[in-house]
Amino acid sequence: MTEPTPPPSLPPSSPHSPPARPGDLVVARPEGLYCPPGNFYIDPWRPVERAVITHAHSDHARIGHGHYLAQADSEGILRTRLGSDIRLQTLAYGEAVEHHGVRLSLHPAGHVLGSAQVRLEQGGRVWVASGDYKTEPDGTCAPFEPVPCDTFITESTFGLPIYRWPTQAALLAEINEWWRRNAEEGRASVLFCYAFGKAQRVLHGVDASIGPIVVHGAVEPLNAVYRAAGVVLPPTVRVTDAGVDARMLKRALVLAPPSSQGTPWMRRFGQYTDAFASGWMQLRGTRRRRGVDRGFVMSDHADWPGLQQAIAGTGAERVLVTHGSVAVMVRWLAENGMDAQGFRTEYGDDDVADKAEAGATTP
C-alpha cells in the first residue's frame, strides 16, 4: 500500500477472542481484524486509517476509512455503495504489494464480483483471511482458488452438516421450471434475492427466452457494474420503464431484494407468485416464516462440504473461525487434529446490504 505511516501502539484485544500469540499476522481488535506488523485492518467494522476489503457487501465494506485497498473488479460496487470519492487502491488477483515488510496479495474467493482472499506473508509465515467464499463456480465472478498457508481465517456462515447446496445447474433448472409454469398461467414470478451477488447469479443463468425480466431499482445499478466487468446478463427493465405494462408483467420474472417484500412497490404485479432464494431455505420452516410460496436453496457462501474442502485445500495447520456456526466448526476441526479457535467479529447477513441499498434507491 502507498504512503506508509509508522505503526501506533497496539489497541487492546477484542473481548471473546483468543489471546494473540507472538508473531501472529492477524489479531482481533475492537475495530476489526488487525495486522500488527503491517498496521492495517481487514474488513474493519469501525473507522480506521487503512482497510483491506475482501468484498463490497456492507458488513465487510463500511464507510469512514481513510484508505481502502481492494480487488480491481470490486471498484465499481465499492464506489457505488461507499461514494465515488473514497481513497481506493486496487490490485489484480495475484498482484502483490509490500507494506511495512508484509507482502500482501489478493486471490479469488468465488463469493461475488471482486471478492478476494487476503494473503499475508512475512518472515516465512503465510496467513490467509478468506472473507466470505463459495467453492462452486457460478460464472459471475472469478472462481475460488485454495491458497496454501500456515494459518487460515475462515467464515462459517453455514458451518453445520445440514447445509448442502444443490448444484448450480440443478438450482437454475428449478427456477426456470417455476418461472415457465407461472408465465403459462399468466402470473408474475417474484423472486426475492439479495441485490448484490444472488440477483446477478440468477440473471446470468436463467432461460431469458421464457419472458421479460424486471428488476428492482436496488438491483439495476449493480447489474450495470457486472456488465461493465464483462459478465453476461440478459436485458432487464424496471417496472417504471416505458413499455412495461400489465400484460408484460404477467409473464415476467421479477428480481427484488428481500426488503421490498410487503411494500407498496409489490402492488404493481397484481396476482403474482413469490419465492425466496437463500441458503436458509435449507431449514424447514424458513419459507413459512418468510411468507412466500416457494423457497430455492441458493447461497453465495460455502456449504458444509465446501468449507471442509476449502480448509483442507489450504494445507493450514491452524484455523481461525469467524462468523456463523463458530463453535461447531472449531470443534469439528479440533476433532480432526487441527489447531482451531474462534474469532469474534461483527460480520452479519448479506441482507444488511440490501436493506441499505433499497432504502436509498428508487424502485
- Give me the residue label for grid cell 487502491: 89
Q: Are 37 and 25 in contact (CB under 8 A)?
A: yes
- Nearest-10 crossing angle of helices 351-359, 75-82: 60
pLDDT of residue 363: 58
Q: Are 349 and 59 in contact (CB under 8 A)?
A: yes
Q: Does this chain's domain 27-162+301-359 share its CATH topology with 168-297?
A: no
Q: Which residues pair with 294 in a beta bridge?
A: 275
pLDDT of residue 291: 84
pTM of the full structure: 0.90
pLDDT of residue 350: 52
pLDDT of residue 347: 85
Alpha carbons 347 and 335: distance in angstroms, whole number: 26
Alpha carbons 357 and 361: distance in angstroms, whole number: 6
pLDDT of residue 233: 98
Instruction: Write the single-letter amino acid at 9.
Output: S
pLDDT of residue 170: 97
Q: Are 293 and 274 in contact (CB under 8 A)?
A: yes
Return the CATH fold of 27-162+301-359: Metallo-beta-lactamase; Chain A (3.60.15)
Q: Are 130 and 156 in contact (CB under 8 A)?
A: no
pLDDT of residue 147: 98
Tell me whether strands 96-99 and 88-91 are parallel, antiparallel or unpaired.
Answer: unpaired
Instruction: Write the single-letter amino acid at 241.
Output: D
DSSP assignment of 159-180, as one string?
-STT--PPPHHHHHHHHHHHHH
Alpha carbons 294 and 331: distance in angstroms, whole number: 34
CATH of 168-297, one of 3.90.1010.10, 2.60.120.10, 3.40.50.10890, 3.40.50.720: 3.40.50.10890
Using only the alpha carbons of the chain, give its radius of gyration.
21
Residues 6+ apart with CB under 8 A from 54: 42, 43, 60, 70, 109, 115, 116, 117, 118, 129, 130, 131, 132
pLDDT in tens, the chain (363 residues): 543 333 333 333 344 456 668 789 999 999 999 999 999 999 999 999 999 999 999 999 999 999 999 999 999 999 999 999 999 999 999 999 999 999 999 999 999 999 999 999 999 999 999 999 999 999 999 999 999 999 999 999 999 999 999 999 999 999 999 999 999 999 999 999 999 999 999 999 999 999 999 999 999 999 999 999 999 999 999 999 999 999 999 999 999 999 999 999 999 999 999 999 999 999 877 767 778 999 999 999 999 999 999 999 999 999 999 989 999 999 999 999 999 999 888 887 554 444 444 344 445
pLDDT of residue 17: 58
- Nearest-10 crossing angle of helices 220-228, 198-205: 70
Residues 6+ apart with CB under 8 A from 216: 195, 238, 254, 255, 256, 257, 260, 265, 358, 361, 363
Coil, strand or helix at 250: coil
Domain boundaries, the chain: 27-162+301-359, 168-297
